[in-house]
């Protein structure tokens, strides 16, 4: 069969015809007759696995290299400041040169004279009392004088201190009615030609009557074994003169006589305290208690404690005892 002659002609238009040759008949082979058909199913291929996820590692940061900043030199700044200062100074100087202006009027400064430096007042330090081991009012030197115990303030155990008993002229070694005269440690100085008074004094001391240029008795002096002395001066008191006026004259005389002393201090009437002796006489006692004026109607007896070269007052209670024992005999 000529294939080309048997081909159907494809219509070229709406009314075209189909040729038989346009059909193709396929015949099943004999080996396939009577067999059940097997449908071959296509198994879909599994989807391809995604590629493994790669976890990106953090990039390692490079270690920063720390470098110390270099210290900036201060030289440029100093030079700059110096130049500025120089320019300013030059400008100020030029301004004053071109326009000096009116010179300022300076007010006179008052001259202040500083006050004179205060003159330090010398501290007059008086003599210190002697050692009193048992604090009974008698120094250890006086304890030897009266035979008392310097370690026992009440030698006779009569409840009175040894110093108090000597002051009142009692016996510090025995209870009353024994007196200081009974101890034998003291004696009585009786009046002489013109000295009409009695006074107790330590029996072991030297007694020296004091005479004036005319040979008249004007007092007496009692010298201890050391440098200490007790003096009594008899002073006349004019009629009609009161005690205060008389004392004022005596104070002036004392100041005149003691001006040459190293620690001299001028006295006044107010420096004397008024009191009464154990025999009832009015007495004026100085501040240091080493000068006492015992008053009477026509005479004044001045008691003086003379230290001599002694730096301490060793017989003060004895001095008080002598003043308390003083008594006029007429």
The pLDDT > 90 percentage for the chain reads 38
Q: Is residue 227 part of a domain?
A: yes
Q: Is residue 278 part of a domain?
A: yes
Q: What is residue 62's predicted lDDT score, i.e. its pLDDT?
A: 55
C-beta neighbour count of 269 within 10 angstroms? 14
If one counts the domains in the chain, the total is 1
Helices and strands per DSSP (H, E), number in the chain: 6, 12
Q: Is residue 138 part of a domain?
A: no
Instruction: Report pTM.
Output: 0.61
The helix (H) or strand (E) run that includes residue 232 is: strand 229-236
Alpha carbons 76 and 228: distance in angstroms, whole number:
91
Tokens representing 10?
A: 């494809």
Q: Is residue 171 part of a domain?
A: no
Q: Identify the sign of the CA torsion 15, 19, 22, 23.
A: positive
Q: Is residue 258 part of a domain?
A: yes
Query: Can you give the residue range of the structural domain that contains 283?
Result: 204-309
Q: What is residue 317's predicted lDDT score, i.e. its pLDDT?
A: 97
Q: Is residue 29 part of a domain?
A: no
Residue segments in the chain with a per-residue pLDDT below the cut of 70: 1-74, 96, 99-105, 121-125, 191-195, 258-265
C-beta neighbour count of 278 within 10 angstroms? 15
Tokens representing 143?
A: 């304890």
DSSP secondary structure, 82-134, as one string: HHHHHHHHHHHHHHHHH---PPPPPPPPP-PPPPPPPPPPPP-PPPEEPP-TT
Q: What is residue 63's predicted lDDT score, i.e. its pLDDT?
A: 57
Which of 222, 217, 172, 194 has its CA nearest to residue 322? 222
> What is the per-residue burial (b if ≥16 Cβ within 10 Å, else e) of 216-251?
eebbbbbbbeeebbbbbebeebeeeeeeeebbeebb
Q: Is residue 219 part of a domain?
A: yes
| CA geometry: angle 299, 303, 306, nearest 5 deg | 150
Q: Is residue 238 part of a domain?
A: yes
């Amino acid at each position: 069969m000529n294939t080309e002659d048997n081909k159907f002609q494809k219509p070229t238009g709406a009314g075209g015809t189909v040729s038989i040759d346009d059909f193709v008949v396929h015949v099943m082979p004999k080996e396939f007759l009577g067999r059940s058909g097997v449908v071959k199913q296509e198994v879909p291929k599994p989807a391809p696995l995604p590629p493994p996820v790669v976890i990106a590692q953090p990039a390692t940061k490079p270690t920063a290299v720390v470098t110390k900043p270099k210290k900036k030199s201060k030289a440029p700044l100093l030079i700059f400041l110096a130049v500025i200062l120089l320019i300013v100074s030059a400008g100020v100087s030029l301004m004053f040169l071109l326009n000096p202006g009116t010179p300022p009027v300076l007010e006179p400064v008052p001259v202040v004279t500083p006050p004179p430096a205060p003159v330090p007042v010398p501290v007059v330090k008086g003599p210190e009392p002697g050692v009193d081991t048992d604090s009974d009012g008698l120094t250890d030197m006086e304890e030897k004088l009266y035979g008392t115990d310097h370690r026992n303030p009440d030698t006779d155990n009569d409840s009175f201190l040894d110093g108090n008993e000597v002051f009142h002229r009692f016996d510090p070694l025995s209870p009353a009615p024994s007196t200081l005269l009974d101890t034998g440690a003291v004696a009585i100085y009786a009046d002489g030609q013109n000295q009409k008074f009695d006074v107790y004094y330590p029996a072991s001391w030297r007694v020296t009557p004091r005479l004036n240029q005319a040979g008249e008795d004007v007092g007496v002096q009692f010298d201890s074994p050391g440098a200490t002395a007790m003096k009594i001066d008899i002073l006349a008191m004019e009629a009609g003169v009161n005690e205060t006026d008389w004392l004022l004259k005596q104070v002036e005389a004392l100041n005149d006589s003691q001006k040459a002393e190293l620690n001299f201090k001028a006295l006044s009437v107010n420096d004397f305290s008024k009191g009464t002796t154990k025999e009832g006489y009015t007495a004026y006692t100085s501040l240091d208690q080493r000068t006492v004026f015992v008053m009477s109607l026509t005479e004044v007896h001045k008691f003086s404690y003379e230290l001599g070269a002694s730096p301490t007052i060793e017989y003060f209670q004895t001095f008080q005892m002598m003043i308390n024992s003083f008594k006029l005999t007429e």
